[in-house]
Structure 1
Amino acid sequence: MSTKLTYSDSKNIEHLFRKQSGKMFSILIRLFGFENSSLIEDIIQETFLSAMKTWSAKGVPENPEAWLMQVSKNKLINDLKKKSNRARLNEQYAGERLEEKVEELYLDKEIKDSQLRVLFACCNPFLSKKEQIMLTLKILSGFNNTEIANALLSTPEAVKKAIYRAKSSLLKQQVNLNTPHIHEAAQRIDMVHRIIYLIFNEGYKST
């Protein structure tokens, strides 16, 4: 049974969207790569808009997390039907059915693996420490520019520019989401720990 959406639900829904956006981004970036971050953000935004429209009319489902993941998966599969995306991904995943690959990436263990891969990718030493932190808080944790600015004693405009530079650098370096080698992981682990602390600390303050 669904419960009717009320004003008091808004904070919980905002927190839910933030939590799920990081999961969705991790899955989609693993499939499409950093070069298609705009497409990924569109899919996530469309998923949240669908949720607000449906939940306002019919109420919040008993398992809203599963609802969001299912809708984003359906939107992704529909998007893969576009010839340009399918042709490129067919080449990338030669010998695999794309729909089956999508189903696999939405398994719980694969979601966690994708999140970890994104975290280590964002902690690439090509980026400044501040860029690493800002980018991760943005794409993996769903914080907006103002929240990131407040956490790092910066301004929203400075955060916006830093995130743009970080994305451009990752694109230029052709960073992938393969599991990092042992020496690469060792180089990044301190920053990974720092960012995890920030995620939990800022997430707690926002609740």
Structure 2
Amino acid sequence: MPDVAVTARVEQVYREESRRILATLIRLLGDFDLAEEALHEAFFVAVERWQRDGVPDNPRAWLVSTGRFKAIDVLRRRARFNASRPLLIAQLEALEQADWSDEDVEDDRLRLIFTCCHPALAADAQVPLTLREVCDLTTEEIARAFLSTPPTIAQRIVRAKAKIRDANIPYQVPTLAELPERLDSVLRVIYLVFNEGYSASVGAELTREELTREAIRLGRLLVELLPEPEVMGLLALMLLHEARRLARTSASGELIVLDEQDRSLWDAGMIAEGCALVARALKTRRFGPYCLQAAIAAVHAEAAKAGETDWPQIVGLYDVLVQAMPSPVIELNRAAALAKRDGPLAGLILIEGILQRGELLDYHLAHSARAEFCRQLGRVDEARAAYERALELTQQVPERRFIEGRLKGLE
């Protein structure tokens, strides 16, 4: 293959397989940092070798094997310079003696998720670590998701890796008896991955399909592993949102709000699967926040036209959801639903109450919603100020263009 084609193939494999390869290397090597170093060494070698020998039949197995041998070389060098470290010598001997074959390349990402979400780790480190290691989000992307700073997130990740190493936290899927207590963090991780893909925090694109696809795949794995109501609820929620992805932007990439979307573009298969999961979960009567959010998404999905949406039912579901999981963001969403049922003034009163409490002051969607209600009420100056504040807080290009369009409309 020409050099350009090989390089493109290596880049494609990295995009599609690097997280699987990393997870397997962590299982084989027992060390996050060593596995990451081995991963990048393997891809570096691939660029040269694949040009000379051709792309292997099983690129993932080739890369895992190459990464493993690179890690052994690293440990040999370390052992030569510091033969007094018995743990290092033992690690090297175990790697050299371990059997290996291409068939040993299993999908270890679910195992990796549960390791990253181990209860021995600090709660504020579990999700960032998993987003970084399993999904390859940058510390900057994770920081935006947490409304934090990159140095803070990076420090949490470093501490979590050290804890896993020093405490010998097992790299395995928990037993069925242990699963429920470990599940909340895992669900939160998967949903944050999905949200970053469904509405990217920065950049020129509204969505990142590879992240939504990955989150849904992990959700399916969890449903197979533990078909609990909240697991089904999360998968249903992601499917029902993802079903609308193609309708959320125009051909030129402009944002299209829910009421104006072409519903014929919605994925009927995903909607049917999501609604079936919601019904299955609600029948257990052991549902929680994810099931309730999925139920709201199902009501939206079942409306053939925006004007046929059952807003009273949605407001009622939000009433239950606010009780189950108090959150200013959920209150904001409830305010938007209430405005659809009772008019913009009802929604505006609720949003101003949230902002007056000092909550969501740096959340652009709160200011966008306030601006929209002010615009509908003819309060142009207030709408302009709110849109301008939302624009200051928005880093995503399609959202910025949408807000700029609304400001021009006020003029």
Change (3 A) 1:102 1:29: farther
Q: Which residue of 2 aligns with 1:146?
A: 140
- Give the secondary structure class of the aligned counterpart of 2:121: coil
* Aligned partners of 2:62 and 2:102 also within 8 Å: no
Q: Which residue of 1 aligns with 2:66?
A: 74
Structure 1 stretches of at least 4 aligned residues deviating more than 6 Å after TM superposition: none
In the aligned structure 2, how far is the partner of 1:42 from the partner of 1:134?
Answer: 20
Root-mean-square deviation (Å): 3.6
Find out whether 1:162 has 2:156 as its counterpart. yes
Which AA in structure 1 matches 2:22? Answer: F
* Aligned partners of 2:114 and 2:182 also within 8 Å: yes
Give 1:128 shift: 2.9
Q: Which residue of 2 aligns with 1:103?
A: 102
Change (3 A) 1:74 1:54: closer
In the aligned structure 2, how far is the partner of 1:17 from the partner of 1:72?
Answer: 12
Find out whether 1:21 has 2:18 as its counterpart. yes
Matched residue pairs, number?
Answer: 190
How many percent of aligned residue pairs carry the same amino acid?
Answer: 29
* Aligned partners of 1:29 and 1:40 also within 8 Å: yes
- Give the secondary structure class of the aligned counterpart of 2:170: coil
Q: Which residue of 2 aligns with 1:31?
A: 28
Give 1:160 shift: 0.6
Give 1:88 shift: 2.9
Q: Which residue of 2 aligns with 1:42?
A: 37
Find out whether 1:135 has 2:135 as its counterpart. no
- Give the secondary structure class of the aligned counterpart of 2:100: helix
Note the alpha carbon deviations across 1:49-100, whole angstroms, 9 max, x for none.
3345678x78x9698xx4354133224135446656996358658xx962x4
Q: Which residue of 2 aligns with 1:172?
A: 166
Give 1:180 shift: 1.4
Change (3 A) 1:3 1:68: farther
Note the alpha carbon deviations across 1:153-189, whole angstroms, 9 max, x for none.
2211111101011112222321011331223211111
Q: Which residue of 1 aligns with 2:194?
A: 200
Which AA in structure 2 matches 1:103? Answer: D
Gaps of 5+ in 2: 80-86, 199-206, 210-411
Moved more, 69-78 or 150-159: 69-78
- Give the secondary structure class of the aligned counterpart of 1:140: helix
Which AA in structure 2 matches 1:171? Answer: R
Which AA in structure 2 matches 1:22? Answer: R
Larger relative contact order (C-alpha < 8 A, sep ≥ 6)?
1
Which AA in structure 1 matches 2:180? Answer: A
Give 1:3 shift: 8.7
Which AA in structure 2 matches 1:101? Answer: W
* 1:112-123 aligned within 5 A: 112=107, 114-123=108-117
* Aligned partners of 1:26 and 1:118 also within 8 Å: yes
In the aligned structure 1, how far is the partner of 2:56 from the partner of 2:61?
Answer: 14
In the aligned structure 2, how far is the partner of 1:199 from the partner of 1:16?
Answer: 20
Gaps of 5+ in 1: none
Normalized against structure 2, the TM-score is what? 0.39
